[in-house]
Amino acid sequence: MENIIEVRSLAKIFGNQTALADVSFNVGKGETFGFLGPSGSGKTTTIKILTAQMSQTDGEAFVFGSPAADLRKPDKRSKIGILTDNSGLYERLSVYDNLKLYCDLYDVSYTRIEEVLQMVNLEDTKKKKVAKLSKGMLQRVNLARAFLHKPALLFLDEPTSALDPVNTKHIYKGLQTLKEEGTTIFLTTHDMNEAEELCDRVAFLNKGTIQLLDSPKSLRRQFTDHTITVELVDGNKEIIDIGANGASKLYNYMSENKVISINSNEPTLGDIFVEVTGRKLS
């Protein structure tokens, strides 16, 4: 598979503080890659280096096969879209006028504005002044702006951090559409459910290094303790091995009609993160 992003031994040091120590990973074409880590772990720093907003102290970062710093050339920038944690909009202008500016800058037809606003559930808000939007609405307009020009590579820095569950779902649907269109997405989050829902692969970032990198599914498999929890009519809960040993036990409970529920003990990504790093995510 063609790699859209390649990062080798990336390091970033601010004064005497190491934000990234030694980070390496690849992101394949069409992949949604999740960068997970607690606050201050270097997620935004990585995005800034990958989008040429910051230079690394050491190591290499390639985007579309060229050094990330090449994105300082204007004509290379139309292939990427970026939502940062502090992206701004023009407050005295309407949502529509804001997006219209970027249509012109990216050479995109104005009809695209309706399309993206629909994707973020804001089709009724286009005439509203940006100053009058709620925080969640702002975030959604910013997101719409980030993928207005159908970038081949989209960087999203905590895209749903200000959103309620309903709008979060809307965004996920929108991102799913982009994914189906072949967009490569680099996403940072400290929301594990978000990572499960959206990402093909996730990297756990902690203390400036990647501690684990795999698909959510195989991580869960790797970290499962191979048990299930059975809740019985007498109120007790029993943890049963899912191997042959547990089979007869479960068979007995079930044939005696003692079972209320059976639950998998497969860990969530959050559990795995805590286990690997010894740190809570948020």
Partner 1 sequence: MNMSIKRLMAIFNKDYKDLSRNLYVSFTVVVPLFLAAFMGRQGNIALEQQYMVYNLTLCLVTAYIQCALIAEEKEKNTLRNLMLSPASTMEILAGKGLLSFATTLLVLGLSAFFLDYMPKDLIVVTAAMVLSAIFYIGLGTALGLMTKSAMEASVIIMPFVFVFSFGTSLSFFADKYPFLHAADYLPNAQLLLLAKEVELGAGFADVWSNLGIIAIWVVVMTAITVAIYRKRMVD
Ligand X SMILES: Nc1ncnc2c1ncn2[C@@H]1O[C@H](COP(=O)(O)OP(=O)(O)OP(=O)(O)O)[C@@H](O)[C@H]1O
Binding to partner 1 (CB under 8 A) within 74-93 occurs at: 74-75, 77-78, 80, 82, 84, 86-93
124-133 burial string, b = 16+ CB within 10 Å, else e? ebbeeebeeb
Locus of tokens 């680099």: 186
3-state secondary structure 55-81: CCCEEEEEECCEEHHHHHCHHHHHHEE
Contact between 41 and ligand X (CB under 6 A)? yes
Closest CA to 48 of 74, 72, 31, 30: 72
Beta strands in the chain (DSSP E): 3-14, 17-28, 32-36, 58-63, 66-67, 80-83, 153-157, 184-189, 201-206, 209-214, 227-232, 237-241, 259-264
Give me the least distance between CB of 57 and ligand X, in Å please. 12
**Angle at 46 (CA atoms; ends 133, 213), nearest 5 degrees:** 110
Binding to partner 1 (CB under 8 A) within 47-66 occurs at: 48, 51-55
Which residues have C-beta within 8 Å of that of residue 272, sequence separation ≥ 6? 204, 212, 219, 220, 223
Give me the least distance between CB of 37 and ligand X, in Å please. 5
Q: Binding segment for Mg ion among 42-50, 59-67, 110-118, 225-233 (CB under 5 A)?
A: 42-50
Q: Binding segment for ligand X among 13-21, 75-83, 135-143, 255-263 (CB under 6 A)?
A: 13-21
Q: Binding segment for partner 1 among 24-32, 44-52, 58-66, 239-247 (CB under 8 A)?
A: 44-52
Contact string (CB under 6 A) for ligand X, positions 235-274, x = contact: ----------------------------------------
Which residues have C-beta within 8 Å of that of residue 248, sequence separation ≥ 6? none
Task: Please state, in angstroms and as integers, the Cα–Cα distance from residue 188 to each residue in 37, 155, 169, following that order.
Answer: 8, 8, 17
**Other beta carbons less than 10 A from residue 44's beta carbon:** 20
Contact string (CB under 6 A) for ligand X, positions 79-118, x = contact: ------x---------------------------------
Q: Which of 32, 44, 51, 168 binds Mg ion (CB under 5 A)?
A: 44
Q: Which of 9, 14, 177, 229 binds ligand X (CB under 6 A)?
A: 14
Binding to ligand X (CB under 6 A) within 187-216 occurs at: 190
CA 84 to chain centre: 12
How many residues comprise the chain? 282
Contact between 43 and ligand X (CB under 6 A)? yes
Give me the least distance between CB of 257 and ligand X, in Å please. 49
What is the binding site for ligand X (CB under 6 A)?
Answer: 14, 17, 19, 37, 39-45, 85, 190
What is the binding site for partner 1 (CB under 8 A)?
Answer: 48, 51-55, 72, 74-75, 77-78, 80, 82, 84, 86-93, 97, 100-102, 104-107, 145
What is the binding site for Mg ion (CB under 5 A)?
Answer: 43-44, 85
